[in-house]
Amino acid sequence: MSLIAAIEDNHQEFIALRRDIHAHPELAFQENRTSDLVAERLAAWGIEVHRGLGKTGLVGVLRGSRLAATGKPRSIALRADMDALPMPEHNRFAHASQNPGRMHACGHDGHTAMLLGAAKYLAAHRDFDGIVNFIFQPAEEGGNAGARAMIEDGLFDKFPCDEIYGIHNMPGSAVGHFGFRKGPTMASSNRFDIIVRGTGGHAAQPHKAVDTIVIAAEMVGVLQTLISRHKNPIDVAVLSVTQIHAGDAYNVLPEETIIRGTVRTFSDKVLDDIEANLRRVAELLPQVHGGSGELKFHRAYPPLVNWDEQTDFAMKVAQDAFGAECVDGNTPMHGGAEDFSFYLKEVPGSYLFLGNGEGDGVHREDRYIGMGPCELHNPNYDFNDALLPIGSTYWVKLVGAFFNRSAAAAPA
């Protein structure tokens, strides 16, 4: 493990910054204080700041000192997310959340601080031929798609990026352990509503009604065959029914039953097939019984698919900087969803996992009996400050290697 000395020297500064963000968590598209703080730091280091993309999102633009006067400059984008979660924090340390019901339980405070650490260093060492775009995005959590909001506000038109990279901390993996994966890496997340309509009536006279509860009960079973019988077994996907709503009385057959649930897949093709099959079952099965059905299908985040070449490149940077023993090139697929996937549909890039230490949190000084695990979205989670100089060093090495590589690849 070889950290950049100047970044190591700044460790305390960025621990304080990270804990300040942790103590003031803000929800999706409300990251005003965090956005102000990031903008103020970037500007102080001489980085050009552009605000108002995706409401609270911002971009820091750093031009290299060797940037050619003509021609299209090469550019790399590094992304951090800034939003917190709508949940209470159970930690007792001094930097615990001061905003009731809000918590940085996914480490976005740490992602922001790691990227700021790299920005400060690069602003003082801008001896490269190109542009670094630091993307600080809002609203990654809860299907709010801050990444998409920034893209719709012209992110890649205003700030062209040849490649984009992202990091997420990973509890349960050793501190400073880098996890990479090519291709499908995180799931798409999608939700559906099926409205089954029939004819209401007296529970003692079912022959005069069309019973939507019986249809819905049958449908829940049939929906599982979309995974077990209609999908190729080697493709990974999940369909879960999570809600059924109908009826208010013991003796009334309700005229409507609503089924809700979620679908996760690792490819758009598998998702397209499941949605088509789901629509067929939702619309036709009730007709068998004289009713009707309607499907509402909402695609929240697409699957996160890492690009091969950029993943190889990012992995090589980690191996060179920290040693091959710290790098896993075949980290398991993750069933969670992540809106970095929207960027990867537009721009080549890769998204990696950086170990946050064991999930039991034994590394934490404030650990007490009865404390919950240090896992993502747990009320006892905390970002591990030991990662700050590791992540910042990695970002700086990635930028250096990117401009060296693209200089070598450019025509003479």
Residue placing its CB nearer to Zn ion in the complex, 73 or 373:
373
The distance of closest approach from Cβ of residue 141 to Zn ion in the complex, given in angstroms and rounded to an integer, is 5
The bridge status of strand 327-328 relative to strand 349-355 is unpaired
Question: Residue 87: phi, psi to the nearest 5?
Answer: -155, 155
Q: What is the DSSP letter of 339?
A: T
Q: What is the DSSP letter of 357?
A: B
Residue placing its CB nearer to Zn ion in the complex, 121 or 301:
301
Strand partners, 57: 53
Strand partners, 144: none
**Residues 235-294 close enough to bind Zn ion by CB under 5 A:** none
Contact pattern from residue 82 through residue 121 relative to Zn ion, giving x for each residue in contact according to CB under 5 A and a dash for the rest: ------------------------x---------------
Helices (H), 101-180: 108-124, 146-152, 155-158
**Residues 154-213 close enough to bind Zn ion by CB under 5 A:** none
Residue placing its CB nearer to Zn ion in the complex, 106 or 388:
106
Q: Give CA–CA dist 23/28, Å, rounded.
A: 16
The distance of closest approach from Cβ of residue 62 to Zn ion in the complex, given in angstroms and rounded to an integer, is 25
The distance of closest approach from Cβ of residue 374 to Zn ion in the complex, given in angstroms and rounded to an integer, is 14
Q: Give CA–CA dist 376/225, Å, rounded.
A: 32
Contact pattern from residue 322 through residue 361 relative to Zn ion, giving x for each residue in contact according to CB under 5 A and a dash for the rest: ----------------------------------------
Residue placing its CB nearer to Zn ion in the complex, 360 or 375:
375
**Nearest-10 crossing angle of helices 387-409, 308-322:** 120
Residue placing its CB nearer to Zn ion in the complex, 191 or 197:
191
Residue with nearest beta carbon to Zn ion: 106
**Residues contacting Zn ion: total by CB under 5 A:** 1
The distance of closest approach from Cβ of residue 106 to Zn ion in the complex, given in angstroms and rounded to an integer, is 3
What the block records as the tokens of 149 is 């909001």
The distance of closest approach from Cβ of residue 88 to Zn ion in the complex, given in angstroms and rounded to an integer, is 16
- Decide: is 145 part of the binding site for Zn ion (CB under 5 A): no
The distance of closest approach from Cβ of residue 377 to Zn ion in the complex, given in angstroms and rounded to an integer, is 6
- 383 neighbors 107 (Cβ within 8 angstroms): yes
Residue placing its CB nearer to Zn ion in the complex, 106 or 155:
106
Cα radius of gyration rounded to whole Å, the chain: 24
- 261 neighbors 239 (Cβ within 8 angstroms): yes
Residue placing its CB nearer to Zn ion in the complex, 351 or 394:
351
The distance of closest approach from Cβ of residue 264 to Zn ion in the complex, given in angstroms and rounded to an integer, is 15
**CA-wise closest residue to 110 among 81, 74, 150:** 81
State how far Cα 406 lies from the chain centre: 28
Where do contacts with Zn ion occur on this chain (CB under 5 A)? 106
